[in-house]
Amino acid sequence: MSDVTTAMVLAAGLGTRMRPLTLTRPKCLVTVNGKTLMDHMLDRLAGAGVQRVVVNVHAFADMLEAHLKTRRDVEIVISDERAQLMETGGGVRQALHLLGDAPFIVCNTDSIWEEPQGSAIKRLIDGYDASRMDCRLMLADMNACLGFDTPGDFTLSETGTIALRGGAASAPWAYTGVQIVRPDLIANEPVEPFSFKRIWERSIAAERLYGGTLDSFWMHVGDPSARDAAEARLTGRAP
């Protein structure tokens, strides 16, 4: 069990799949049920005890920074990617000096979930053991999600280790875009754009990539139709 109080929210993407909604705003400021995707995620982080959040910015950076200043419940620090998009791994590497020496959460903003059992991020933290785990990813059951258009991301062993789907036709678990990471995993990477998959593959080979199950319904809000479906579910209008 670990005490994780810092997070990074990846919010620098161009949001091309969310067009036309992202022609006038960053994807994380698209609203679902009257609340921006960014605030959905910040609420979940604050509810898990997170106190400090690093947010990377690129598209509509000034607009996003102005919105973030309205939050008073968590400390927010900006990692500026206006000059160059760094992708998921590179974004974390560039911001590493802002994240501290303890394990931290990394998350996307296109992820909303239900919490009938209390904070899912807190459960992910409670099950994290840095001595055995490089990363612990929050996974959703492929049979309890919407808006996710791939045949699954990971397999999950009885011991909690996970592996990428690879060449298999399908996998039972979807990555929700939320994980806990040890900073030393990234410290030796070059400061350049790269995918976090580079880190995962190394951890899988060492049998140190772990997963924790969400155990509730997950909504991947990646395009306008998924946004509409998520809003319908949250407002009780879903069939």
Q: Over the chain (239 residues), what is each successive 10-residue block's mean pLDDT? A: 87 94 96 97 97 97 97 97 96 97 97 95 96 97 94 96 95 98 96 96 97 97 96 83
Residue ranges per domain, the chain? 6-234
> pLDDT value at position 239?
55
Provide CB contacts within 8 A for 113, sequence distance 6+: 44, 120, 140, 176, 214, 216, 217, 218, 219
> pLDDT value at position 1?
46
> pLDDT value at position 2?
61
Q: Is 181 exposed, middle or buried (CB count within 10 Å of its CB: 0-12, 13-18, 19+)?
A: buried
The CATH H-level (homologous superfamily) assignment of domain 6-234 is: Spore Coat Polysaccharide Biosynthesis Protein SpsA; Chain A (3.90.550.10)
Query: Under a CB-based contact definition with an 8 Å cutoff, are residues 77 and 53 in contact?
Result: yes
Q: Give CA–CA dist 97/99, Å, rounded.
A: 6
